[in-house]
Structure 1
Amino acid sequence: MLDLDHPQSRHVFAASQQLDLILDYLKRITYVGSKERLALLEIIRPCFAALRWLQAQRFAGESRIAAGIDELEQAAEQLARLRDSRAEWLGGELPTDCPVCRQPLTTYGVYEPRPGLKVPKERWCSPCLEVAMPALQRVQSSHEGFGTDAI
């Protein structure tokens, strides 16, 4: 558990915000077409810059964290380029299957934007997301990363 009175806690929370945003976009990357995948990857690039700044300025330049950030960014790029970026989704209704591996998407929660229309709040392809999860968990860990797993 994170000690909220510890002076480093606010920096752990700052890292957590960036990592949450990265995870949200990694999930989105798993169900959109090739062009959208690369565009979403570009949206999260500033998150990696912010994590590198935190690592250098607030985590004493810890080399294990730096290596983890590099690994996570490479994994995000690998995820965005799965199947040589030939993932196809033709728009319209959000897909129920992954456009890369054709597995059913994992869904979590439901919201109702209009009466009678229930849509999952979150969706992602679990098998494809596994490309990036080990690197994300490393950066979150208390032993090799920012310690956001203590939140």
Structure 2
Amino acid sequence: MRPLTVIPLSDELSVAGQISPADLSGLARAGFKSVICNRPDGESPGQFNHLDLAAAASQAGLALAYLPVVSGRVTPADGQAFAALLNQLPTPALAYCRSGMRSATLWALSQAGSQPWPELAQRAAQAGFNLSGVAPPPPISSL
């Protein structure tokens, strides 16, 4: 079995590629409180279903939320939904998808209203995620 690579983006959130039910007890021991699945079920053959992961997460004492996003189609609305999850779930949380890229993009979009986009993109780049192809969300209108 391959080791899980966990990449921190903030004190509240780390990201990873696909996890397995066997990873969840180790994540709990490492101090994580929640897991966010950003990978649609059935995206790839042999991928773990989020319901199987939710059952294993519950046994490990972790909350699991399902926010599936299609690769290459992350929107600002997805980022807002991700922000809502981060506000509701106990932290620190681990978000995962196939490679971690979608989860990192969702994190950056979720933070865009409170932090400058260039800083978010730089933090993601330092963690190994290139967000140069992601358009920063427009400023929130005060109207």
Q: What's the TM-score, normalizing by structure 1?
A: 0.26
Q: Which has the larger radius of gyration?
A: 1
TM-score by length of 2: 0.27
Q: Which has the higher helix share?
A: 1
